[in-house]
Amino acid sequence: MEELWTRLVEEEGLLKLFLSLFLGGLIGLERELKGRPAGLRTHVLVCIGSTIMLIAAQQATRVFAAESDTVGRLVLDPNRIAAGIVTGIGFLGAGAILRMGDFIRGLTTAATIWFVAALGIVIGNGAFLLAATSTVLVLIVLEGLDYVEHRIPQIGYRTVRVKVDGRKRQEVEAGCRRIFAAQGIRVQDMLCSLDLSAGEAELSFHLRTRTQKWTPALIEEIAGLEGIRHVQTGRV
C-alpha cells in the first residue's frame, strides 16, 4: 500500500486524479445547471475513470518492461486503452440522447460525455496545459455559442398536406405556391394523389423554410383557399 501511494505521488498520479475531478467537474457543472440528466457526477466519473485507466496502463507497462528479460517481449500499449475508452464511452453517450417524435434532445450532453472521456485520457498522459485549454474552449462553446445559436434563424423541413375538391386542385396548388413564395418558403417537391370515388385530391408539399417564417397565420391562410377540405402539417 505504501509503495502504491509513493508511486502515485512521484508519478503525478494524484495530481492527475484531482485535475480530472476539477476539469471534469466544470463541464459537468455546466450540464447540471442546464438541468440535463447526465450532470456533475456523471461527467466527473467518466473523466476520472479515463484517467485511472491510462495511469494503470502506464504503470503496468513499466512493471512488465522491468520484469521482462527481453526488451519488447511484453508490451501493453496505453494508446489501445485510450482507443477502447473512446469506443466504449459511445454507449454511455447514446443513453443521454432522447427522441420524442420529431424532437431530439441530449446530443450536446452526449458530446460533452465523449469530451470528458478524451479529457481524462489527455490528463492521464500528463498533457495538463492541453487539458486546461481544451476545457476552457469547451466551456466557451457551451455558454457563448448557446447564446449565438438561439439567435440564428434555423432552417427546417416541413410537409403540408391539403385535401381539396378535385375540381379545384390546380387553383389550390397555385394558391399554395403563391403563399409559400410570398413568405420566402421553398417548395422542394409536390406530390398529388387522386381519390376519384370521393372526388378529392391530396397535395403534399415538401418545404424548406426558416423557423421564424412558419406561423399559424400562414396555415390559416392556406386553409382559407377555396376548395380546401383539410390541412395537415408536420416536420420531415
Give pLDDT tens digits for 149-200. 777 767 778 888 988 888 888 888 888 899 888 888 888 888 888 887 778 8
Task: Using the structure block, give the residue that is written with the C-alpha cell 496545459.
Answer: 129
Give residue 154's pLDDT: 72
Nearest-CA neighbor of 139 among 24, 25, 27? 27
| Distance (Å) of CA 190 to CA 67, 186, 211, 216 | 73, 11, 20, 21
DSSP three-state, residue 197 = coil
CB 227, CB 168: distance < 8 Å:
yes
208-236: pLDDT as tens digits: 887 656 677 888 888 888 888 888 887 65
User: Taking the C-alpha atoms of 99, 29, 41 and 123 in order, what is their torsion angle to the nearest 10 degrees?
Assistant: 110
User: Can you give the residue ranges of every domain in the chain?
Assistant: 2-149, 155-235
Query: Mind listing the pLDDT tens digit for each residue in 6-45?
Result: 555 556 778 899 999 999 999 999 888 888 777 889 899 9
Q: What is the pTM of this model?
A: 0.64
Cell of 187: 417548395
Superfamily of 155-235 according to CATH? ACT domain (3.30.70.260)
CB 204 within 8 A of CB 157: no
Report the pLDDT value the prediction gives residue 131, as an integer from 0 to 100.
93
φ, ψ for residue 224, nearest 5 deg: -80, -5
The C-alpha cell of 113 is what?
460525455
